């Protein structure tokens, strides 16, 4: 099969969209499929190929630290020359919209992957009454461009419901895989992991950690609720435009604690591969804060590492966390509930360990190989349907 993937984000940028595209390319290559990736040109040098797939870069402009691909005619030329069996459009918004319209003109089957709740992000970034209007306008655009796709795939029941409520046609579920061989509890025995753990918790503190991009939509400032939990330390892995305000807010929350202040929050910066796996393995509890997640890949990675998880009772995490089984969900609209749910995890070492073991069991079979086989089945469906339409 020949697959063209049009993505709003790709290496060297690292985020959920890039990760899912990279894992999809790897699994398609393993199957023997031929793939081309069409992505924005980046300010930092990005690869010209990835795991056997040629990466074609299109003109882009920087917007809030993102390189946004421009909808130029070159995209249609690439699709025409490659002649794919199916066009996969990852998290379409600007470049992806051009990819979908170009595929329509070329009569190519299309699968769009809804991965970023842009309407929620726009609302968070637009203060006051204008936020609701901006979010509604964003949904009108998303509804229009997804209507150009033969099939739209959503990663969670919450995202699927949002698409259905907004009148997006032709929708189905497609989850995400996790590399349970990379993210696993055995990293706790690694010498470098133990050294990092000793550095972060020299007094035997319990480490409460967040992993992800530091941006307003991730709401990492919510961790301030945990600042005065005795014998704990906040650890943040990642970087982004909110690094400075998040750092200041968390440091102030710890320093101003009414009880004896904990150690200041630790910011480890961006980590990848083995270093990221070690960072997870250092933690005692994984805490996710964003309320606009369509899935929550870091929750799966934490679960694969054997960590109990606390996350909002909203969006993608609702599918990934079950109260009392692998962690707890907090009410983001109730002040203090994040702290209360973390305290439930910390109630006893045995309870914490049991939550982590069950979390590992829940995700260890969600391999990217299995997930991409499901994706290929969706590809086959839209290819067959397009062939039937042509025949008719």
Residue in the structure block whose two tokens are 């691909």: 69
Structure tokens at 72: 């130029």
Judged by average pLDDT, the poorest of 160-174, 253-267, 294-308, 309-323 is 253-267
Which residue in 377, 389, 387, 392 sits closest to 153, CA to CA?
Answer: 377
Residue in the structure block whose two tokens are 């480890």: 268
CB contact at 8 A, 56 and 6:
no
- 227-259, pLDDT tens digit by residue? 999 999 999 999 999 999 999 999 999 999 888
Instruction: Find the angle CA(346)-CA(352)-CA(356) to the nearest 5 degrees.
Output: 140
Which residue in 291, 297, 270, 282 sits closest to 216, CA to CA?
Answer: 291
| Domain chopping of the chain, boundaries | 2-177+367-387, 185-363
Averaged pLDDT, 363-368? 92
In degrees and rounded to multiples of 5, residue 370 shows phi and psi of -65, -40
In degrees and rounded to multiples of 5, residue 46 shows phi and psi of -110, 160
pLDDT over 80 (residue 12): yes
- The pLDDT score that the predictor gives to residue 64 is 67
Rounded Cα distance between 16 and 22, Å, is 10
- The pLDDT score that the predictor gives to residue 378 is 98
Eight-state DSSP code of residue 205: P
pLDDT-above-70 percentage for the chain:
99
Rounded Cα distance between 216 and 213, Å, is 9
Out of 3.40.50.2000, 3.90.380.10, 3.90.230.10, 3.40.462.40, select the CATH number for domain 2-177+367-387.
3.40.50.2000
List Cα–Cα distances, 249 to 35, 52, 263, 284, in angstroms.
Answer: 44, 44, 14, 22
Check if 2-177+367-387 and 185-363 are the same fold. yes
Write down the pTM of the prediction. 0.94
- 125-145, pLDDT tens digit by residue? 787 888 889 999 999 999 999
Eight-state DSSP code of residue 324: T
Averaged pLDDT, 290-305? 96
Mean pLDDT of the chain: 95
- 165-223, pLDDT tens digit by residue? 999 999 999 999 999 999 999 999 999 999 999 999 999 999 999 999 999 999 999 99
Which residue in 310, 334, 365, 116 sits closest to 217, CA to CA?
Answer: 116
pLDDT-above-90 percentage for the chain:
86
Fold of the 185-363 domain: Rossmann fold (3.40.50)
């Amino acid at each position: 099969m020949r697959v063209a993937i049009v993505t709003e984000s790709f290496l060297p940028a690292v985020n959920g969209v890039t990760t899912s595209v990279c894992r999809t390319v790897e699994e398609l290559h393993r199957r023997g499929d031929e793939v081309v990736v069409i992505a924005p040109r980046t300010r930092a040098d990005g690869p010209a190929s990835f795991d056997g797939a040629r990466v074609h870069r299109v003109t882009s402009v920087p917007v809030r630290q993102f390189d946004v691909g421009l909808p130029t005619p070159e995209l249609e030329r690439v699709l025409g020359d490659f002649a794919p069996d199916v066009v996969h459009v990852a998290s379409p918004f600007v470049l992806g919209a051009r990819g979908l319209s170009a595929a329509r003109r070329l009569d190519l089957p299309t699968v769009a992957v809804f991965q970023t709740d842009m309407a929620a992000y726009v609302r968070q970034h637009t203060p006051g009454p204008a936020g609701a209007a901006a979010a509604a306008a964003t949904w009108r655009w998303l509804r229009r461009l997804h209507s150009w796709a033969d099939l739209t795939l959503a990663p969670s029941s919450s995202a699927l419901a949002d698409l259905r409520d907004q009148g997006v046609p032709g929708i189905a579920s497609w989850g995400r895989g996790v590399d349970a061989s990379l993210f696993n509890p055995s990293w706790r025995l690694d010498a470098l992991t133990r050294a990092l753990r000793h550095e972060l918790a020299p007094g035997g503190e319990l480490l409460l950690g967040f992993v992800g991009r530091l941006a307003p939509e991730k709401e990492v400032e919510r961790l301030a609720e945990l600042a005065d939990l005795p014998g704990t330390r906040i650890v943040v892995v990642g970087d982004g435009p909110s690094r400075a305000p998040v750092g200041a807010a968390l440091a102030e929350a710890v320093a101003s604690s009414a009880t004896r202040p904990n150690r200041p929050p630790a910011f480890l910066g961006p980590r990848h591969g083995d270093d990221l796996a070690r960072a997870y393995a250092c933690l005692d509890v994984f805490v996710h804060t964003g309320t606009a997640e369509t899935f929550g890949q870091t929750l799966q990675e934490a679960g694969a590492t054997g960590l109990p998880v606390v996350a909002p009772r909203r969006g993608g995490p609702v599918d990934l966390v079950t109260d009392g089984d692998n962690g707890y969900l907090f009410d983001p609209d109730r002040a203090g509930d994040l702290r209360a749910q973390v305290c439930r995890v910390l109630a006893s070492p045995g309870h914490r360990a049991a939550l982590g073991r069950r979390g590992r069991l829940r995700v260890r079979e969600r391999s990217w190989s299995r997930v991409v086989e499901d994706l290929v089945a969706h590809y086959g469906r839209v290819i067959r349907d397009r062939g039937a339409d042509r025949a008719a």
